[in-house]
Amino acid sequence: MIFVPLVSRLESESVPQKQLKETATAEMQKLMALVQRTTDLYHELHALDRFEQDYRCQLKGSESSNKIEKGDNIQVVKLELKTQRSYVKNLKKRSLWSKTLEQVVEKLVDIVQYLHVEINVSYGTYDGGELSSAVNCQRLGPAGLALHYANTIIQIYSIVSRSGYVPANSRDALYQGLPPRVRLALPNKLRTSSMPQELTIDQIRAMMERTLKWLVPMAINTTCARGFLRFSEWAKSGTERVGRGPGRPDVIETLYHADKARTEAYILELVVWLHHLVSQSNRTANVKKAQSM
């Protein structure tokens, strides 16, 4: 069975996450290079087929009266055919054409092992040792909170994308829409968190972008999925669908399976950074105003 190496490795090996990422990245680059060459190979195979057809046609037409001119054409086509065959032969050696199933699966095992760890980190419990699934964590989808949390994340992103000015109605709407546990923890978090005065607005925004760059797409996918079916029905139908329509996200690309506590922690962190962003924006505006007076 080709999946035996994968299953045995997931169950027995404990590899540092950084090493897994480096290995998976390297193997993925190799595979993508093989895929590109395989794509090129099939294009060149079609071209080779045309050259062979052209060569056969030239041979059949060589019986006409102008044999000298036909002979020259045949030699040209024959040379092109030879060159194309050599190019195709070289591409076969350097593409998936020459690889065995076991060789490809071995590379995929490294990639899947890393993805398995990343999924556990994002959606479940991972203590750096044996891989395990979360047992006691609450998921946003089954709890009916995925769309609510997605809208909150998009609100934060919308504010961050502005110059730093936050209208009172936007601020109030965001605060009222925060998950109850986030709203409860926010005052104490703001009191205990501190930000270096030298951090600029761009630096604060860059800090937030580290989380927003992967969290916002999942939030957007969650809101988009809402338009296809009732979210819970759509998520449950995921295992029954053979394919999906263009632009339709898969369940794993949304917040449906996200851990509630972990997502709330990210939202709380973003709101605290947003507070610092607004404070720094106001401070900068006040300095400019004082200088202009």
Tell me: the pLDDT tens digits for 15-74? 677 888 889 999 999 999 999 999 999 999 999 999 899 888 888 776 554 555 566 778
Given a cut of 80, whether residue 93 has pLDDT beyond it is yes
Check residue 259 and report its DSSP letter.
Answer: B
Indicate the average pLDDT of the chain: 79
CB atoms within 10 A of CB 278: 17
* pLDDT at res. 291: 64
Higher pLDDT, 9 or 108: 108
* H, E, C per residue of 86-155: HHHHHHHHCCHHHCCHHHHHHHHHHHHHHHHHHHHHHHCCCCCCCCCCCCCCCECCCCCCHHHHHHHHHH
* pLDDT at res. 209: 92
pLDDT tens per residue across span 255-267: 988 999 999 999 9
| Contact criterion met (CB below 8 Å) for 74 and 68 | no
Tell me the pTM. 0.56
**Among 6-10, 114-118, 218-222, 229-233, whose mean pLDDT is lowest?**
229-233
* pLDDT at res. 31: 94
pLDDT tens per residue across span 120-161: 776 655 444 443 444 456 889 888 899 999 999 999 998 888
**Average pLDDT value for residue range 262-289:** 84
Q: What percent of the chain has pLDDT over 90?
A: 37
pLDDT tens per residue across span 190-244: 988 877 777 888 899 999 999 999 999 999 999 887 554 444 444 444 434 434 4
| Contact criterion met (CB below 8 Å) for 160 and 277 | yes
Question: What is the C-alpha to C-alpha distance for residues 12 and 135, in angstroms, rounded to an integer?
Answer: 20
Higher pLDDT, 255 or 250: 255
